[in-house]
């Protein structure tokens, strides 16, 4: 009862429902509402989303709470006693307490009668007086508990625009239990969605990492291939230079050999001219 009456997370959820309801009812006679009945909380689980199958307004309420006040997602755990309260009707509780109080009153009556006993051997008065005193304290505690529960039940009934009564209180607990169950389903869906999102992100991260390694491997292979091609081109260029050097050397050698041959020819021609000159001089002398 105290959790249902004082729980700040539940009050925040109720305020969120009120704000969303006023927004959705803009332009209607229900706009700017200051409150609503418990049935309205249950209707949040019946208002279907037009954008995604299976989602309701309650899911978006839970999503809003997750972003603005994450502690609201603990509401199902905080409201676990609500189900227990619903299983023990309020009118039954007050009836059982009234019976206990009646029995205590009877016990106190017996204690008063025991005081009138004049027999010194009768120890009944000594035995019952302490117990009766303790029961009287318990009776006061029970009276205070029922009184406090009654005040809290009235506040809850007024909060949800119901006339205070034992039956109204039981109905509120029943509806609260149903709403908390639906809210828990919405929270579970959010947790599953978050787990799925994290899984997808991890999958995308691994895929990106794999693609990165693949690209790096490909780039390394291309760099190696390019380096090998450059090395081969350099080697081929070096071979051409060697061939050109060899060719120049051969041409130089031939040229040098060609120069020696010309010198020999000139020498031979000079000797031949000398011999011819001598023969001509010899013939001239003979004619004389």
User: Which residues are within 8 A (CB) of 17 and not within 5 positions of it... i.e. 6 or more apart?
Assistant: 36, 40, 41, 44, 61
Task: Report domain extents, the chain.
Answer: 2-206
Rounded-to-integer distance, Cα 44 and Cα 36, Å: 12
Rounded-to-integer distance, Cα 198 and Cα 186, Å: 18
- Residues 67-71: what's their mean pLDDT? 89
Rounded-to-integer distance, Cα 198 and Cα 137, Å: 57
pTM of this structure: 0.54
| DSSP letters spanning 206-258 | HHHHHHHHHHHHHHHHHHHHHHHHHHHHHHHHHHHHHHHHHHHHHHHHHHHHH
C-alpha torsion angle, residues 162, 168, 174, 178 (rounded to 10): -10
What is the pLDDT confidence band of residue 263, given thresholds at 50, 70 and 90?
A: low
2-206 folds as: Methane Monooxygenase Hydroxylase; Chain G, domain 1 (1.20.58)
Check: CB of residue 22 under 8 Å from CB of residue 33. yes
pLDDT tens digits for 123-175?
Answer: 666 667 777 778 778 778 888 877 887 787 777 777 776 776 767 777 777 88
Q: How many Å is the Cα radius of gyration of the chain?
A: 56
Query: How far is the CA of 197 from the CAs of 5, 55, 62, 105, 201, in angstroms?
Result: 36, 17, 17, 64, 6
Nearest by Cα to 136 from 160, 101, 169, 168: 101
pLDDT over 60 at 203, yes or no: yes
* CB environment 253-281: b (16+ within 10 A), e (fewer): eeeeeeeeeeeeeeeeeeeeeeeeeeeee
Average pLDDT, the chain: 78
User: According to DSSP H, which parts of the chain are helical?
Assistant: 2-6, 8-24, 38-43, 57-68, 75-78, 80-87, 90-115, 124-159, 166-287
Burial class (CB in 10 A: 0-12, 13-18, 19+), 248: exposed
What is the pLDDT confidence band of residue 122, given thresholds at 50, 70 and 90?
A: low
Check: CB of residue 160 under 8 Å from CB of residue 172. yes
What is the pLDDT confidence band of residue 285, given thresholds at 50, 70 and 90?
A: confident
């Amino acid at each position: 009862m105290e959790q249902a009456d004082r729980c700040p997370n539940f009050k925040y959820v109720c305020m969120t429902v009120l704000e969303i309801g006023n927004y959705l009812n803009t332009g209607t006679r229900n706009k700017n509402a200051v409150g609503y009945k418990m049935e309205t909380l249950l209707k949040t689980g019946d208002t279907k989303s037009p954008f995604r199958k299976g989602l309701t307004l309650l899911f978006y309420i839970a999503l809003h709470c997750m972003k603005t006040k994450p502690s609201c997602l603990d509401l199902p755990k905080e409201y676990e006693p609500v189900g227990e309260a619903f299983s023990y009707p309020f009118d039954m509780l007050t009836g059982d307490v009234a019976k206990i109080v009646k029995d205590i009153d009877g016990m106190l009556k017996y204690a008063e009668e025991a005081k009138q006993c004049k027999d010194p051997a009768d120890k009944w008065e000594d035995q019952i007086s302490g117990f009766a005193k303790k029961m009287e304290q318990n009776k006061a505690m029970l009276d205070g508990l029922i009184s406090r529960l009654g005040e809290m039940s009235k506040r809850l009934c007024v909060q949800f625009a119901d006339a205070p009564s034992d039956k109204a209180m039981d109905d509120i607990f029943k509806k609260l239990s149903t709403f908390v169950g639906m809210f828990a389903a919405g929270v579970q869906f959010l947790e599953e969605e978050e787990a799925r999102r994290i899984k997808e992100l991890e999958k995308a991260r691994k895929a990106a990492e794999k693609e990165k390694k693949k690209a790096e491997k490909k780039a390394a292979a291309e760099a190696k291939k390019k380096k090998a091609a450059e090395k081969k081109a350099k080697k081929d260029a070096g071979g051409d230079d060697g061939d050109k050097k060899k060719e120049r050397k051969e041409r130089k050698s031939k040229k040098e050999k060609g120069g020696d041959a010309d010198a020999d020819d000139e020498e031979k021609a000079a000797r031949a001219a000398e011999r011819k000159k001598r023969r001509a001089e010899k013939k001239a002398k003979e004619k004389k």
